[in-house]
Amino acid sequence: MGLPDPNVEVNRNDKPIIRTDLRETTIKAAVGETVSFHLTGEDPEGYQPRFYQWSGDVGKITGDRYVHVPTESERGRTLPVRFICSDGTGAYRGLTIRIRVE
């Protein structure tokens, strides 16, 4: 085996970037208070990112917006909400936001 041929182009698939419009990754919310924020994604290769969240996590993503209204049973808990930003070609990146219900 020799050295790789420097003239052969290798396809790269860099991970997309995921962000929110929040200042912190842990936010406080009261029971009944709507928690809502935008998700943004950017793929280095220009594919359209899609957002998903883990099954069983609270709240819901619609398009690029996440919404959850904490319930009385969640009072005193810190709820992890785990997001996946996928470029649809196998590259993805995760982000966790924690909601502290007071």
Residue 55 lies in a domain: yes
Q: Work out the mean pLDDT of the chain and round it to a whole number.
A: 93
In the chain, the number of structural domains is: 1
Beta strand residue intervals within 1-102, DSSP E: 17-20, 26-29, 35-42, 50-53, 60-62, 65-68, 78-86, 92-101
Residue 6 lies in a domain: no
Q: Which CATH number covers residue 97?
A: 2.60.40.10
- With 60 as the cut, is the pLDDT of residue 1 above it? no
- Which residues contact residue 51 at a Cβ distance below 8 angstroms, ignoring those fewer than 6 apart? 18, 39, 41, 61, 64, 83, 84, 85, 86
Residue 8 lies in a domain: no
Residue 77 lies in a domain: yes
Residue 13 confidence class, pLDDT cut points 50, 70, 90: confident
Give me the domain span that covers residue 43. 17-101
Residue 72 lies in a domain: yes
pLDDT tens per residue across span 58-78:
999 999 999 999 999 999 999
pLDDT on residue 7: 73
pLDDT tens per residue across span 23-47:
999 999 999 999 999 999 999 999 9
Residue 5 lies in a domain: no
